[in-house]
Amino acid sequence: MGYGRYLAFRAVNSLIVLLVALLIASLAFNALAEKTIEAIINDKVNQVRQQLAQRHVEFIDVLKGVKPRLLEWNITAKYKDKTWNCYLFLDNYEKGKLGNMSEDDINGVAEQCYLSYIKMREEVSWGLNLPSYVRIMLYVWKSLTLDFGEARMKYPQFGTNEIRAMVLIAMGRTALLFTTAYMINVAIAILLGLQMARKVGSPLDRGVSVIAMISASLPMFWVAMLLIYVFTYQLHIYPGVAMEPMPASIKGNILEELKWWLWHLYVPILTIVLVGFGGGAYATRNLVISIMQEDFVTTARAKGVPERKVIYGHVLKAASPPIVTSISLGFIGTFFGAIISEVVFQWPGMGSLYYLALSNADVPVLMANTFMFVFLFVLVKFLLEIVYGVLDPRIKASR
Amino acid sequence: MIRIDWNEVKKKAREFWSEYRRFKIGLIGLGLLVILVFMAIIPSFIFPPETYYNWNNYPGWEYNPRLAPPEWVNLFSSKKYTPPKTIEPTKMEGLWQYYAEVYIKLNNITDENLKKQVYEVFKQQMAGKGYVYYYEYDFKWDIPSSDLVIIVSNVSTTIKLTLGIQRPPSPYNGQLLNVSLYPAFTTTVTPTNGTVLIHLANSDQLMQALIKNYISKYESPDIFKNATENNILSANVLSPVTLLFYAPGPGMIYGQQGVTKGVYKFNITVEATNGSLEYPPVIKIRIPGSCYGLLGTDFRGRDIFVGILWGSRVALMIGITYAVSVVLIGLIYGVVSAYAGGLVDEVMQRINEVLYSIPLLPFLILFAYTIRQLYGTLSVWHIIGVLIIFAWTGLAIVVRSMALQIKEQPFVEAARAIGASGRRIVFKHILPQLMPYAFASMALAVPGAILIEAGLSFLGLSDPNIPTWGKMIYEAQNSLSSWWWVLSPGLMIAVTGMAFVFIGNALDTILNPRLRRL
């Protein structure tokens, strides 16, 4: 029962985090959207004006077609320093009460009225007429239902223009590259950390500790650039980009396809491992050292348990919950660098999508990517908490 | 009022220092930090401030070569790069003098008196009409400059400027060639109080002059024909200034014959197109060269050394502001939460946990972008601000648990028993216990902020005007072979991070004796 309650508590917590994060993000998007949508609407109004001018349409005639809307939205327009109520104007015109106005003036007022109507129509379709808190809630709802619409620009790397599909593809690719690299990282970190802790002060321990400190301050995208320079420009053993169209000849042949992916991904993976493994090993070492000084380890040793069994049995078992924690923290830290390095390798994952959306000023894509990132992040954290609960029996007992 | 016992503080500090001194790594970190602080301070005294707040478009960059490696590569490279040089005229004379001499030469006048008369006549007719400047450039390197800049200032009326070039004698088919180009380049300069820079790197005039008088004569016909057909011999593809230095022979346009070393002579004739000049304009020739300064230049001719120094100021500013604010906020929040206890503690912890679980990166990207769209610009302070808002939470959790332990200790209980106020207990008893931990966290927080700023810059979200290390890497990403441009900012980020990690780790080890090496 204890573990169930722990899980429920964590789940509720994750949900609250998700909602708060989405709310904050929606706040920013609301501000952004107001700014960009205004520009879009102005473009649209100008477009309509030009179209009508080309077709030599009498504005008063098109205005008649939208008469109910004029009343509903209470459309007004400015013409020659006077503000006109468009519905009343049209009404009076139809009843023939505007006899003293020239033909030009009537058409002028009608044009302004029609453009005001177009502007209002666009605003309504974008939801700008709603109060901002409603719009923010709408953003939260849209992101929860993954309803992001179409991208404004073209993104050939993702093969689709529907934002939801695009972001899901990007997420999958990032997960593929990053998870692979991170698994390797964790394995190296645990093995190396245990060795370091067993022989504190040895050359291995000192060496890896220094590497850990240095690599903690290396910008990963910079390391990526250096590796590309060495592997591609100097040694010519890497294609330079992580993603190329796969030749048709090897499609379907699983072994060949795997080779193709390895050939393109080994340098990106190497980058993530190179920057990450030191920190992980150092954290493991510190945790293991502090646990090795606990009484139960001394007891085990005094009992005559072989040293191997003490390390891999007793110590690792006790150290695994904090290792999971530090790994999950490291996960977050490395993820940041990794998705930026995607830009260097032109690996079309979430980082590249961010880069493209930012340079295209494509707000909906930016929004979808951010929301997806938040989902992914909260989900991973929740999963790690479940694992943590399984590993650490004290958690089952409490709560 | 809480009084601080300075003697006690001094004694504690001395004790701490004697402990800290034993950590070699901590001392290295401290040494690096001192160097960094020095690097952050000196640029204010040696560079014009415009290089900082107008990093992209500072006019001084026009004098520099583009994408040039540092000057010290000549120590290691077998092919020597040309260092930049500004050439002052060796001689200047009035245009009348020049014409008089030409007249005397053409008419073979030998009589001294007659010569004087000729001079008089020309002087009366042409004084102030124009001037001729002579320059000499001793070229002794292997990789020539790709640009040549004529620097004109103090022009009082519209002038026509004509450049003539005489190459040094160069061996060709067993004889010595003397090639002269006149006019190599002509332009008009309108009156100005400032300085006009005329770049010849993309000058089609110079290219045509070179083709007519030099290349078409000495290049092998096949290569010449091929190059003309493929439009290679155009100033947009090859720099005519580089071609000027290449030695004659087959393949000369690709530099296959090497360069001609020796003294290149330039002359510049200026002539007032209307009326006369009140005073002679000041004209210099700048050879930007093919290497530059301590760390070379980037694709806009910006001095990377200047950028690195200013960048260290930005990085320290970001790192330290962030670290100090985050630690202070976390410290206060954690202690207050621990001391208050009960419902207040619970609520504060819930808020903290939610904020702590929010991913930092997408929010930084989002808010940096939003600020840029709404205010039209982005400054480092915006980035620091957003960073602080989202990143203080981790420390508060640790501080709270530490404060909870301290709170239960007998001396706090004793203080409470003799009637100390809550504020006094927090500031006098709990906070001082946490200070060492706070300093270690500050040191360890700095590299993260610098890395995050660099990462945002790499996505194109950075202060558009000032140089930062991250922005320099971002701009270098398509010029990977310009190692001097790629390496230096990245190394600086790494070294800065290292300095703080070393210091932080030394502090951490002092405070956490369990981790001490056995």
| CATH code of residue B351 | 1.10.3720.10
Q: Measured between alpha carbons, how far is B11 from A337 in angstroms, rounded to an integer?
A: 43
Residues B314 and B272 in one domain: no
Tally the domains of chain B. Answer: 2
Q: Do residues B177 and B213 touch, judged by C-beta distance below 8 A?
A: no
Buried b (16+ CB within 10 A) or exposed e, B380-405: bebbbebbbbbbbbbbbbebbebbbe
Query: Which tokens is B314 given?
Result: 């930005």
Residues 454-493 of B with CB under 8 A from A: 454-455, 458-461, 470, 473, 476-477, 480-481, 483, 486-487, 489-490, 493
Give the A window 321-350 contacts with B, CB below 8 Å: 332, 335-337, 339-340, 343-344
Residue of B nearest to A18 (CA): B358
Same domain membership, residue B172 and residue B82: yes
CA distance B29 to chain A (A): 11
Neighbours of A69 (CB within 10 A): 15
Max avg pLDDT among A119-128, A150-159, B45-54: B45-54
For chain B, list residues with pLDDT below 50.
515-518
Q: Are B30 and B81 in the same domain?
A: no
On chain B, the residues whose CB falls within 8 A of the CB of A28 are 366-367, 370
Report CA Rg, chain B.
Answer: 34
- Per-residue confidence (pLDDT) for residue B518, from 0 to 100: 35
Q: Which of B255, B287, B319 is the last residue of a domain?
A: B287
Does B148 map to a domain? yes
- Give the least confident one: A36-45, A100-109, A325-334, B326-335: A325-334
**A and B: number of Cβ contacts within 8 A:** 153
CB atoms within 10 A of CB A366: 25
Under a CB-based contact definition with an 8 Å cutoff, are residues B292 and B68 in contact?
Answer: yes
Closest of B166, B141, B144, B168 to residue B266, by C-alpha: B166
Task: Give which of B52, B39, B30, B509 is closest to B302, Cα–Cα.
Answer: B52
Query: Which among A216, A219, A381 has CB closest to B454?
Result: A219
B390 part of contact set with chain A, CB < 8 Å: no
Annotate A257-278 with DSSP letters as a single string. HHHHHHHHHHHHHHHHHHHHHH
Residues B454 and B411 in one domain: yes
**DSSP letter at A162?**
B
Same structural domain, B438 and B365 = yes
Of B361, B480, B494, the CB nearest to A217: B494
Taking CB atoms and an 8 Å limit, are A214 and B483 in contact across chains? no
Asked whether the predicted pLDDT for residue A342 surpasses 50, the reply is: yes
CATH code, residues A157-396:
1.10.3720.10
Residue B188 sits at φ, ψ, to 5 deg, of -110, 145
* Least confident among A34-43, A304-313, A331-340: A331-340
d(Cα B183, Cα B161) in Å, to the nearest integer? 10
Is there a contact between A358 and B365 if contact means CB atoms under 8 Å apart?
yes
Most confident of A106-110, A322-326, B209-213: B209-213
Provide the angle, in degrees to the nearest 10, between the axes of the packed helices A220-228 and B483-511: 140
Q: Residue B477 is which amino acid?
A: Q
For A28, B183, B241, the CA distances from B204, given in Å and listed in that order, are 52, 13, 11
Q: Report the length, in residues, of chain A.
A: 399
pLDDT given at position B481: 86
Q: With an 8 Å Cβ cutoff, are A213 and B502 in contact? A: yes
Say whether both B164 and B262 belong to one domain: yes
Q: Does some domain include residue B427?
A: yes
Q: What is the pLDDT of residue B516?
A: 45
Domain final residue pick, B287, B314, B342: B287
Q: For chain A, what percent of residues have pLDDT higher than 70?
A: 96
Cβ atoms of residues B39 and B263 within 8 Å: no
Tell whether A306 is within 8 A of chain B (Cβ).
Answer: no
Assess if residue B65 is contained within a domain. Answer: no
Nearest to A213 among B357, B480, B498 (CB): B498
Same domain, B249 and B335: no
**What is the rounded CA–CA span in Å between residue B65 and residue A274?**
36
Question: Looking at the domain assignment, is residue B386 inside a domain?
Answer: yes
Prediction pTM value: 0.85
Q: Are residues B331 and B195 in the same domain?
A: no
> Per the domain annotation, does B188 fall within a domain?
yes
Measured in whole angstroms, how far is the alpha carbon of residue A163 from the centre of its chain? 12
Note whether B460 and B491 are same-domain residues.
Answer: yes
Which residue type is seen at B244? L
Q: For residue B500, give the chain A residue with the closest CA.
A: A217
With respect to residue B423, please indicate whether it lies within any of the assigned structural domains. Answer: yes
A9 touches chain B (CB under 8 A): no
Task: Please state which of the ranges A121-125, A326-330, B20-24, B31-35 shows the lowest mean pLDDT.
Answer: A326-330
Residues 6+ apart with CB under 8 A from A25: A139, A143, A367, A370, A371, A374, B362, B363, B366
**Mean pLDDT score, A98-114:** 79
- Whether the CB of B494 is below 8 Å from some CB of chain A: the reply is yes
Same domain, B352 and B477: yes
Same domain, B434 and B379: yes
User: Is B154 contained in some domain?
Assistant: yes
Cβ neighbours of B374 in A, within 8 Å:
31-32, 35
Question: Two tokens at A322?
Answer: 């904090």
Contact A290 B515 (CB under 8 A): yes
Q: Are residues B277 and B352 in the same domain?
A: no
Q: Give CATH 1.10.3720.10 domain extents, chain A.
A: 157-396
Does the beta carbon of B451 lie under 8 angstroms from any beta carbon of chain A? yes
Q: CA-nearest residue of chain A to B488?
A: A222
* Contact flag A217-B486 (C-beta cutoff 8 Å): no
Q: Is residue B39 part of a domain?
A: yes
Q: Is A258 on the interface with B (CB under 8 A)?
A: no
pLDDT at A397: 57
Q: Measured between beta carbons, which residues in chain A are less than 8 angstroms from residue B362?
A: 25, 369-370, 373-374
The predicted structure's pLDDT at residue A333:
67
ipTM of the complex: 0.84
Q: Give yes or no for residue A271 having a pLDDT over 60.
A: yes
The range of the structural domain enclosing residue B431 comes to: 18-50+303-517
Candidates A335, A337, A381; nearest CB to B357? A381
